[in-house]
Structure 1
């Protein structure tokens, strides 16, 4: 993973949305939907992918904000140029 000083340069908004909502949230939703389709192909509820595409990105949004706060606290002594 990048050093926090490099990650911080992208700004909080980009970090949360690009890394956590889109990459982690949408990526996890796609993987989960595919796995669920293979596990339960005949009886798969067609709402499950929709639920996954809501729940995982939403979880990514909250996780990204928590990770930003934790890393800011951990590296609070480092100089930075924050773009929120």
Structure 2
């Protein structure tokens, strides 16, 4: 079985589970949350030019806000990836 055939077989199984699950797993949880956490980590360790860390007052509120924003972006990312994979799938089947 070739590499393209394996991908088609895997995508058939994935698409049977549905677009919503794909977006949740690959977009929100697979991209949005990890990217949001990475963003917060980088932001926390970034300095404002004076060598002191950026003010992180209201950190819980900022954390929630950042995660919501990145989860929404992950939803968009997941949808775009679904559409790209669907286009690829229909082109090769």
Question: Gaps (5+ residues) in structure 2?
Answer: 1-5, 48-52
RMSD between superposed Cα atoms in Å: 2.1
Within-5 A mapping of 1:59-74: 59-74=73-88
Residue 73 of structure 1: CA displacement? 1.6
The corresponding residue for 2:50 is none
TM-score normalised by length of structure 2: 0.67
Segments ≥4 residues shifted beyond 6 Å: none
The corresponding residue for 1:44 is 56
Tell which structure's C-alpha radius of gyration is larger: 2
More helix per residue = 2
Per chain length, whose mean CA-contact separation is higher, i.e. which structure has more relative contact order (CA < 8 Å, sep 6+)?
Answer: 1
SS of alignment partner, residue 75 of structure 1: helix
TM-score normalised by length of structure 1: 0.73
SS of alignment partner, residue 3 of structure 1: helix
Residues 25-46 of structure 1, C-alpha deviations (whole Å, 9 max, x = no match): 1111111111111114351252
